[in-house]
Chain A
Amino acid sequence: MLCTAVSLFGYVFGERYRFRKSCLSKLSSFAKGCAETMRCSGADIFKIFKSSSDIGLPFLAELDRDTLKDKAKLAKLFISHGVWPDDAKIAADFFGKLGDGDIEAQKVHCGYYFGQFEELKAKAAKDCAEKVKLYCSLSVLCSIGIFIILI
């Protein structure tokens, strides 16, 4: 039992990295399609947020006028939904200024943050591959060690 639990620790630690990668991937997809959605639908950003649940960002529906004005509050909301603090800051910058300006300005804004999220996503993917492997190997080694000690 103890050995199995220790082996699982590695998987659990690794999951954080997988979640970060998936989160950044969703944010990146959102930033990529956002300006186009704005142009085509003409809908306000709150309607766009509400419809973003299908790309796996249901917490965007919680954003309101007051939260958007307060970057610290915005970052906190993202962190509470599992976004890593450093990524949450960038996401807060992105969402905080979303909607300011005409469609051309929005294209530039979304394009810039799409680049940022893609960069972070690439780093996260590299981290994920390395760290998940490391944690899993370590936990398996630990569980073998514990098994030997117990014998």
Chain B
Amino acid sequence: MTSDKKHEAVAAAADYLPQKLRELIKKLPGNICKNITEIRLRAGRPLGLTLSGENVFLSEKGSICYLLQHGLYTVDEAELKETFSNMCEHSVYAFSEHIKHGYIPLKNGCRAGLAASAVYENGKISNFCSISSINLRIAAEHIGSAEPLCGCFVGGLLIAGPPAVGKTTLLRDSVRLISDGIGTARRRVAVIDTRGEIAAVCGSTPTADIGALTDVISGCEKEVGIELALRTLAPQVIAFDEIGTVGEAKAATNGTLAGTDTLCTAHVGSAEELLTRPISKKLVLSGAVKHIAFIKALGSVPEIFETSALIADLKSRKECFNFA
């Protein structure tokens, strides 16, 4: 992503903030803006920014502070409420399904994570109230970042790593490469974009570059979306973000059995953890993915493993490991 584009993305995200805060963020120099990945608002606490993976604060004068000190910009409850209202475009009802899942999809593929008190109804979260913090994640589009993965798309690929290391960015670029046939065979891709972060569809048009042969199903649960795509779109590759349930792993496996390749991401702390977490373990052992790309930190080159080799390696190291 060019620094100009990133500056625009930060400015667009800042538009959701109250006026004073918006002005402070927009005044930040370009070299700082291009490295901002998150804006964190917490009621009664200093405004935080994630700058190249590091937690920093913003002073009342608009400068970046690395230490907790006097003169930091403190976010009050009213500002938090105003930000929430702006993010919902004054239409909380239109986002209630997303709010139930703790986030609000924003324009340009940005996303706001919410920390609040959960309201339960019939044993399920029906709403959130008293929002105490908002994490405004700035979308990044790094064209060409997935080029090292070009040889791994056939047979399925799982992009794994800890949170906020750029898994979605890599997934989006992978979709573009496959769909446009850059460095790999050109194939039809169906993107199941539950949170609107991959394609960032605005109206009917994706605002992110996801290639010419990509169809997007937005706002739908991944499990349902995979089934829908298989039945109606005849994809050759199905891409989705953050595999999180056994049902999703099953749906991806079904896709593989139907002859499509799976391209997805998973939250894991290390490559070994992939086989200790039930969902990723199910996906890996089912043979839905042939390769695993593990990203250790933001901006680092992904390590690529062949699934069979990883399983064999771990089996040899942990003989008592339950692979059943």
Q: Which residues of A contact B (CB under 8 A)?
A: 38-39, 42-46, 65, 68-69, 98-103, 105-106
Q: Please pick, from B86, B90, B96, the residue contacting A102 in the complex, using a CB distance under 8 A.
A: B96
Chain B residues whose CB sits within 8 angstroms of the CB of A39 once the complex forms: 93
Chain B residues whose CB sits within 8 angstroms of the CB of A69 once the complex forms: 82
Given contacts A99-B88, A99-B91, 7 further A-B contacts (CB under 8 A): A44-B94, A45-B90, A45-B91, A46-B91, A99-B90, A100-B85, A100-B92
B92 and A99 within 8 A (CB): yes
| Closest CB in chain A relative to B320 CB, distance in Å | 50
Cα distance A69–B82 in the bound complex, in angstroms = 9
A102 and B91 within 8 A (CB): no
Cα distance A98–B85 in the bound complex, in angstroms = 11
**CB closest residue in chain A, given B15:** A65
Residue of A39, A69, A100, A102 contacting most chain B CB atoms (<10 Å): A102
Residue of A45, A68, A103 contacting most chain B CB atoms (<10 Å): A45
Q: Please pick, from A42, A43, A65, A101, the residue contacting B92 in the complex, using a CB distance under 8 A.
A: A101
Q: Between A and B, how many residue pairs show CB distances below 8 Å? A: 44
| Closest CB in chain B relative to A143 CB, distance in Å | 51
Cα distance A39–B94 in the bound complex, in angstroms = 8
A44 and B90 within 8 A (CB): yes
B306 within 8 Å of A by Cβ? Answer: no
Top 9 A-B residue pairs of the complex, sorted by shortest distance between their CB atoms:
A44-B91, A44-B89, A99-B90, A99-B91, A102-B96, A103-B93, A45-B91, A106-B93, A44-B94
Chain A residues whose CB sits within 8 angstroms of the CB of B91 once the complex forms: 38, 43-46, 99
B52 within 8 Å of A by Cβ? Answer: no
Q: Please pick, from B82, B85, B89, B96, the residue contacting A103 in the complex, using a CB distance under 8 A.
A: B96
The dominant DSSP class at the B interface is helix
| Closest CB in chain B relative to A71 CB, distance in Å | 14
Interface residues on B, range: 10 to 19
Chain B residues whose CB sits within 8 angstroms of the CB of A98 once the complex forms: 90
Residue of B92, B93, B94, B127 contacting most chain A CB atoms (<10 Å): B93
Chain B residues whose CB sits within 8 angstroms of the CB of A43 once the complex forms: 91, 94
The B77-103 residues at the A interface (CB cut-off 8 A) are: 82, 85-86, 88-94, 96
Cα distance A44–B259 in the bound complex, in angstroms = 39
Cα distance A116–B82 in the bound complex, in angstroms = 28
Q: Please pick, from A42, A68, A103, the residue contacting B90 in the complex, using a CB distance under 8 A.
A: A68
| Closest CB in chain A relative to B91 CB, distance in Å | 4
Cα distance A65–B84 in the bound complex, in angstroms = 12
Chain B residues whose CB sits within 8 angstroms of the CB of A102 once the complex forms: 92-93, 96, 127
Chain B residues whose CB sits within 8 angstroms of the CB of A101 once the complex forms: 92-93
B90 and A38 within 8 A (CB): no
B92 and A38 within 8 A (CB): no
Cα distance A102–B88 in the bound complex, in angstroms = 11
| Closest CB in chain A relative to B192 CB, distance in Å | 19
Cα distance A91–B94 in the bound complex, in angstroms = 22
B89 and A38 within 8 A (CB): no
Chain A residues whose CB sits within 8 angstroms of the CB of B82 once the complex forms: 69
Q: Please pick, from B85, B90, B92, B93, the residue contacting A46 in the complex, using a CB distance under 8 A.
A: B90
Chain A residues whose CB sits within 8 angstroms of the CB of B93 once the complex forms: 38-39, 99, 101-103, 105-106
Chain B residues whose CB sits within 8 angstroms of the CB of A99 once the complex forms: 88-94
| Closest CB in chain A relative to B219 CB, distance in Å | 9
Cα distance A99–B85 in the bound complex, in angstroms = 9
| Closest CB in chain B relative to A134 CB, distance in Å | 43
**CB closest residue in chain B, given A100:** B92
| Closest CB in chain A relative to B226 CB, distance in Å | 22
Cα distance A138–B127 in the bound complex, in angstroms = 60
**CB closest residue in chain B, given A41:** B94
Chain B residues whose CB sits within 8 angstroms of the CB of A45 once the complex forms: 89-91
Chain B residues whose CB sits within 8 angstroms of the CB of A105 once the complex forms: 93
Cα distance A103–B97 in the bound complex, in angstroms = 11
Cα distance A46–B91 in the bound complex, in angstroms = 9
**CB closest residue in chain A, given B126:** A102
Cα distance A69–B86 in the bound complex, in angstroms = 10
| Closest CB in chain B relative to A38 CB, distance in Å | 5
Chain B residues whose CB sits within 8 angstroms of the CB of A103 once the complex forms: 93, 96
| A–B Cβ pairs within 8 angstroms, 11 of them | A38-B93, A38-B94, A39-B93, A43-B94, A44-B88, A45-B89, A69-B82, A101-B92, A101-B93, A102-B92, A102-B127
